[in-house]
Amino acid sequence: MAGLELLSDQGFRLDGRRPHELRKIECRMGVFAQADGSAYIEQGNTKVLAAVYGPHEMRGSKSRGLHHKVLINCQYSMATFSTGERKRRPRGDRKSQEMTLHLKQTFEAAIMTQLYPRSQIDIFVEVLQADGGNYSTCVNAATLALVDAGIPLKDYVCACTTGFVNDTPMVDISFVEESLGGPQLTVAVLPKSEQIVLLEMASRLHVDYLNKVLKTAVKGCKDVYVILDEVVRNHVAQIASSVGSE
């Protein structure tokens, strides 16, 4: 593997983490005044902004509206300065379109869509700095933004990308670990019920290992959940106490 050892003999990764450790997660809710809900999240060096608008009247063509549930409209974009090499198009390329589709699928499963017929919810995520695990960071950011907007969710959606090196699953992989190849498993789960809402795998992995990797990934998602929940509770408590003291 090109001289780089992803997992040292002592069991440390390139950035000094153990295989089951997440990167440092920091987040803030309510970063925009204009949006109905918004959030900013940093997972290590991956930084993502999310904004949610709605539920609101259908914009654009009215015919797209669904009479029994809300339409979820997602947009994934990467800032031109987010990657090592400057990107030419922030959105609309193949990769972004695929990400957009995945986000839409994920949140259609988690949002209680039947409550708002004939309306629309917009979810915009923007990657400001890409350092691996872009999709999972975006899902976590969008979840926080949806909670901030007061949109009913079955549960949080937490996502985590897991790699597999030397028979060891490595949770929340960074860009270097991603780019050196090897199998990658991205999962988004509803942490309380452990239901999987999205599962994606890149490159090949022997089926005997799948269970092990999946278990580690779900564990990673649950760790993410603990952090997100703490942030939400603090945020809600702060707002509640300031509005309450008229």
Please give the residue ranges that form the binding site for other proteins (CB under 8 A).
Answer: 30, 36-37, 54-57, 112, 116-119, 147-156, 190-192, 229, 232-233, 236-243, 245-246
Closer Cβ to other proteins, 211 or 242, answer by number: 242
| Closest distance of CB 212 from other proteins, Å | 26
| Closest distance of CB 81 from other proteins, Å | 18
If you search the block for the tokens 């001289």, which residue do you land on? 3
In whole angstroms, give the CA distance from residue 130 to residue 103: 17
In whole angstroms, give the CA distance from residue 58 to residue 127: 26
Q: Select from 199, 194, 150 the least CA-distant residue to 38.
A: 150
Closer Cβ to other proteins, 211 or 245, answer by number: 245
| Closest distance of CB 92 from other proteins, Å | 28
| Closest distance of CB 42 from other proteins, Å | 15
Given the DSSP bridges, would you call strands 168-171 and 158-165 parallel, antiparallel or unpaired? antiparallel
Closer Cβ to other proteins, 124 or 156, answer by number: 156
Closer Cβ to other proteins, 2 or 243, answer by number: 243
